[in-house]
Amino acid sequence: MIENRQTRKADVPHDNEKFPAHLNSRWLYYFAQALDAGSIRTASDRLDVEPSVISRQIRQLEQALGMTLIERHGRGVRATEAGELLLDFYRERDVAEQALFGRLAELDGLQRGHISLSISEGYSDRLMSGVMNDFCARHPQLTIELNLASDNDVVRQVYEGQAHIGVAYAPRLIPGIEAVASARQPLCAIVHPDHPLTRLPLPLSLDDILKWPLGLVGHGFGIRQLIDTVEVISKRHFHASLVSNSLATLKQYVSSGNGVTFIGGVALLHEMRRGQLVALEIDHPVFAQAEAHVIVRSQRPLSPAARQLLAEITSLWPFGERRRVEW
């Protein structure tokens, strides 16, 4: 008797049989952390582990796949073509995992969970006083992680899944990032109330401003990207007497002398109310049309708690009309 049976799928050889059935999560984690940090040394400092531990995990991953995943250049590392594919897979898997957690959280309402936000420095005071303090008080079992970052890093962290929600000023938006709310926030010249520029008619010309010492934020910030754009368009040079990655430092710089800096109005609310600093309109369309954005990763499901927090952020001025602030 001859048994007639169908060929099982498992009986058919496939090219991918040379790869492991499963990828070790620990290998993937250290691999992704090294690429995110740009070097194994930086990743080891962030994770508080020895560099040899990270190198060993990456080497084991490469041996399991039989492929080179990272290349070393100088003191840093970068992904090979295979490494880029694996990194994309890791990020997509992380997003899918977060989506699962979000669905599970729906069974638990808003009682537990973790929400990560990445915001540019200028919006921290506004969000804390307008949303976060009250939201945390109403949901004490939630863990809210709020990280300050440069505007381009806000976009990167949201895209890579490190943050659920981002708030940034004039960022470079990329495919895969969705701006769920935007608001026009002109970039202004910030000076002490007694500065001679306050006695000139508004809006100020670039020539008026560039006569004075300038304090500029560093590269990677939306403010600096606007300034760089205006330099090219207007063929002017914004010579910095002080460069800092801290808006608080730039505020101190102009509050104690004749210096000028550039900041959006929301970041100046407290100082303007106290009469410590003045925001002056600038006569240039790039500055006048600058916008702030609330961003999320496209197609990334949010938990009920994250959706509620997002709704409260987008309803807050300047993105919405709730608790509108009059200058």
Tokens in use for 189?
Answer: 């010249």
Q: What DSSP line would sit under 219-235, residue for residue?
A: TTSHHHHHHHHHHHHHT
Closest CA to 252 of 239, 265, 237, 268: 268
The model carries a pTM of 0.69
Within the chain, which residues score under 50 in pLDDT?
1-14, 323-327
Angle formed at CA 237 by CA 233 and CA 238, multiple of 5 degrees: 110
| CATH superfamily, with its number, for domain 108-183+291-315 | Periplasmic binding protein-like II (3.40.190.10)
Q: What is the DSSP letter of 131?
A: I
Q: How far apart are CA 275 and CA 48, in angstroms?
A: 44
The full set of domain ranges for the chain reads 21-88, 108-183+291-315, 187-288
3-state secondary structure 133-160: HHHHHHCCCEEEEEEECCHHHHHHHHHC
CATH number, span 187-288: 3.40.190.290
Q: What is the pLDDT of residue 111?
A: 59
Q: How far apart are CA 230 and CA 237, in angstroms?
A: 9
Q: How far apart are CA 238 and CA 60, in angstroms?
A: 50
Q: Is the dihedral of CA 241, 147, 123, 103 positive or negative?
A: positive
| 187-288 shares the fold of 108-183+291-315 | yes
Q: What is the pLDDT of residue 36?
A: 85
Report the mean per-residue pLDDT for the chain: 86
First-to-final CA distance of the chain: 92
Largest CA distance in the chain: 105
Q: What is the DSSP letter of 58?
A: H
| pLDDT, tens only, 20-65 | 667 788 888 889 888 888 888 888 888 888 888 899 999 998 888 8
CATH number, span 21-88: 1.10.10.10
